[in-house]
Chains A and B, each alone.
Chain A
Amino acid sequence: MNPVVNAPILQVDNLHVRYSVTGGGLLGYGRRVLHAVNGVTFWVAKGECLSIVGESGCGKSTTALSILGLQKPSEGSILYRGQPFTGPNGPNRMQRAKAVQMVFQDPYASLNPRQTVRTSLAAPLRLHGITAASEIEARIEAMLKNVGLTPEQAKRYPYEFSGGQRQRIGIARALILEPEIVILDEPVSALDVSIRAQIINLLLDLKEKLGLSYLMISHDLSVVEHMSDRVMVMYFGQIVEEGSWRQIFETPAHPYTRRLIAAIPSADPQNSTMREFGNPLPGANSISVLDTATTLDVFSRPVDSRLIEIAPQHRVRAVLIA
């Protein structure tokens, strides 16, 4: 069992991200507001892995980009260790880089093809003030060892590596500045099955070893179930359910969550029995869980639903009736 220190190091409060998009209206010149992230609140504790699951367009990537500082929030706050992480009082790019980093989805696009592995790892160190060559070498060597690569491979270019190895380099790069929070954006989706296992094991090992907190974005629920401590399900910019991995996968309360889990094609004939969920809602008479397919639309005002706690740490989006 991993002792999880329960102090939140990342706190996201009522995050809204709105884009204005053209389209519709007269001759296609109408402007509408796309509410990509619509009032999202969550926290990540030290040493834990929180996964955000949802299908395309649900806002999970936009949420991640807001935390990284690559997307400006329209409303809401992000706190890192209690200090504001966005806005005028927030840190600049350099300070932010030491706190949060990201592992990208596509190992073939996430490395600069014109930089050797060594340069990719050394340049950020130098940028952040570590200039002694011996220190840089030592850190690079240690990091390569951490991700399962040899120091000799440092002088090679990305095109000389396989997908799995490139992902390891991407992980090394994300960790070289020793951040506390690492955002994993579909870290294994683009990899072969046998390589996925290696990278998943690596990520879990590193989390233990370095005390990292992960915010993982994924649509692959099997991977999410395996790796996460807590899970957050998003749909059209809102959280529809959140809870521990056990609560989400053993007793999912929201119809959308259930649909997602039921849709996973099963590789195990024995698994089909898992898909029948009983009604886990205590006090089911006082709340009505909205099936999001019919009630939420990005362009309309959200129905007045709230996240209601149905078990310790297990919240589901619903409307109070009576």
Chain B
Amino acid sequence: MKQPLLDIRNLRVGVLLGRTQRPIVNDVSFKIMPGEAYGLVGESGSGKSVTSLAVMGLMQKPLSVLDGQILFQGQNLLELKTREMRRVRGKRIAMIFQEPMTALNPLSTIGRQIAEMYVLHQGKSWNEARRLAIDALASVHVPNPDQRTKNYPHQMSGGLRQRVMIAMALACNPDLLIADEPTTALDVTVQAEVLRLIKELCTERGTAVLFISHDLGVIASVCQRVGVMYAGSLVEENETGAIFTSPRHAYTRGLLGALPRLGSRSAHGRQRLVDIDSIIADRSTLTETRYITPRSSQ
């Protein structure tokens, strides 16, 4: 049995409001195998983004980890000191965000920002790093990469900026890429290209992906395994296909029924979309049952 790359055990995260701790992530456990693409899907407030921040060690007050372990290649990230965590971040775990404009430094050329990754994490010289930056841009299919390295973020479109982010994230060949809603702000056709790029690069390099989104369609097109989060708990986990064909948890079923599906009107006529509140009498009971289906290879 292979050892999981990322093993989150009983993670609890809370936010301090006044004097009370309010749970945001409540006893969440899941594993990601090396090279696997795992999707975390949920609506706002489900705790999915906070989970990824916990893995990266990027949480700030008033959020704090209350309990649990985050084992990365066997090592508990929560026990690492700041300096040690910084060596992990960027080099072994990388992250891309929703808004590339705010994640990129507006005052620095993108060539320099990508080169920085090589200098900081691989100890390369600036000259070498700049050459590697051009290669990195080429690998994410940016046309005219040597000219583009001289551009500033605001001179590029949203899709291009997201590619730059991907290039930066994958520069040091991390073992895990965390992508938090990376395509939500992009146009549909650009989104399709970026998703294709993420799939291609990660398969090529064997990088595992933790893909976070509210969009089931996006998750389905990239991930092999899906975890559904609701109100801080992981309520269902299964292979992608199985989640769609045989969802077991009431919330998952509600979520799937609430989506207008392309092609269903042609096939079945216009069906009234499922109103989750009308089929689930009491939302607070949703977190009581969880359906975690183990991996088939184990």
Contact = CB atoms under 8 A, between A and B. Distances in A.
B276 A194 contact: yes
Given A226-B270, A260-B189, A266-B221, A193 B262 contact: no
B65 to A, nearest CB: 26
A263 B263 contact: no
Contacts of A219: 187-188
B197 to A, nearest CB: 13
A267 B275 contact: no
Contacts of A246: 266
Contacts of B262: 221-222, 225, 249, 261, 264, 266, 268, 271, 274
Contact of B214 (A192, A222, A226): A192
**Size band of the B side of the interface?**
35 or more
Nearest to B193: A263
A198 B244 contact: no
Contact of A267 (B189, B259, B270, B272): B259
Contacts of A263: 188-189, 191-192
B237 to A, nearest CB: 17
A226 to B, nearest CB: 4
A267 B244 contact: yes
Nearest to A194: B276
Contacts of B261: 222, 267-268, 271
B258 interface: yes
Secondary structure of the B side of the interface?
Answer: helix
Given A192-B214, A219-B188, A259-B189, A269 B220 contact: yes
Interface residues of A, number: 34
Given A198-B277, A246-B266, A266-B221, A193 B192 contact: no
Interface in A10-61: 55-56
Contact of B188 (A192, A193, A260): A260
Interface string A216-236: 000101110111000000000
Contacts of B275: 194, 197-198, 201
Contacts of B274: 197
A104 interface: no
A223 B188 CA distance: 13
A307 interface: no
B260 A269 contact: no
B265 interface: yes
11 contacts: A201-B273, A222-B217, A222-B261, A222-B262, A225-B262, A227-B260, A249-B262, A265-B192, A266-B220, A267-B261, A269-B244
Given A56-B187, A265-B217, 7 more contacts: A196-B273, A226-B273, A259-B189, A265-B220, A266-B221, A269-B241, A274-B262
